[in-house]
């Protein structure tokens, strides 16, 4: 049903537009310029100049329409394969993982800091038993421990590579195995993209297209997009 309506529109709209231009030509050039100015008011030069100017623009408009019908609208002449954006995705994944790890370390630090403050306040309030060497009566949990069993902690702001990067490295290796770069091309330094940061893709043409374009079902290719329609004439012109 929609195809039938679209076919009727393609035939009716141009007919209405051309008929309207013919009526404007008659009303302006004949009724106004010739009958009113030329015959009744005797403004021959003014009437002739207005008729020539109006007909020049109408002929220019019809000439452009004829060119579009003969030559056709602008088309995407080449097929652009999809860009190889895998390095950018991997960099984004690594950055996201590092941000999560940093956030987790900050949460652990804040939790330990709050626990230490709570324990210190509790011991200060109790404060009944203490000696000269340890006024607060806090025992050292590492006094009797074997130094060989103690595991050194990573410095502040540094993450142990063996514990944190092993998972990401394994995932990156798996990504490399499942990603095929033979069907992709290296993206340019600057390219058009949509709101998600990805290039616009046409599934019909199997090609990257510019943003101000759409796939024409009549021409079976991508054509420039017309943002403003005049009496829906672009339905026939496929712009």
CB atoms within 10 A of CB 164: 14
Q: Tell me phi and psi for residue 207, to 5 degrees.
A: -150, 155
| Residue 32 predicted with pLDDT over 90 | yes
Report the C-alpha gap between 4 and 10 in whole angstroms: 10
**In this predicted structure, what is the pLDDT of residue 76?**
67
**In this predicted structure, what is the pLDDT of residue 151?**
47
Global pTM value: 0.43
Q: Select from 226, 205, 227, 200 the least CA-distant residue to 215.
A: 205
Report the C-alpha gap between 10 and 231 in whole angstroms: 12
| Residue 149 predicted with pLDDT over 70 | no
**In this predicted structure, what is the pLDDT of residue 215?**
78
| Residue 16 predicted with pLDDT over 90 | no
pLDDT average, residue stretch 166-172: 47
**In this predicted structure, what is the pLDDT of residue 174?**
47
Please report which residue ranges of 127-231 form alpha helices under DSSP H: 161-178
Report the C-alpha gap between 20 and 65 in whole angstroms: 15
Q: Is-contact 9 237, C-beta < 8 A?
A: no
Q: Is-contact 13 236, C-beta < 8 A?
A: yes
């Amino acid at each position: 049903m929609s195809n039938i309506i679209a076919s009727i529109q393609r035939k009716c709209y141009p007919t209405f537009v051309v008929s309207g231009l013919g009526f404007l030509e008659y009303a302006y050039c004949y009724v106004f310029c010739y009958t009113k100015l030329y015959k009744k008011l005797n403004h021959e030069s003014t009437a002739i100049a207005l008729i020539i100017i109006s007909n020049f623009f109408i002929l220019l408009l019809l000439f452009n329409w004829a060119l579009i019908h003969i030559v056709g609208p602008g088309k995407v002449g080449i097929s652009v394969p999809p860009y190889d954006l895998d390095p950018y995705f991997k960099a984004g994944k690594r950055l996201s993982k590092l941000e999560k790890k940093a956030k987790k370390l900050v949460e652990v630090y804040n939790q330990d800091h709050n626990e230490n403050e709570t324990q210190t306040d509790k011991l200060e309030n109790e404060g009944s038993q203490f000696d000269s060497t340890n006024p607060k009566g806090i025992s050292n949990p590492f006094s009797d421990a074997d130094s060989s069993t103690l595991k050194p902690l990573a410095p502040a702001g540094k993450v142990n590579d063996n514990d944190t990067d092993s998972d990401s490295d394994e995932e990156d290796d798996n990504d490399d195995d499942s990603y095929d770069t033979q069907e992709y091309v290296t993206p340019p330094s600057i390219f058009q993209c949509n709101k998600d940061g990805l290039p616009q893709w046409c599934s019909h043409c199997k090609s990257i297209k510019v943003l101000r374009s759409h796939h024409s079902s009549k021409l079976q290719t991508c054509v420039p997009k017309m943002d403003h329609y005049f009496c829906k004439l672009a339905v026939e012109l496929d712009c």
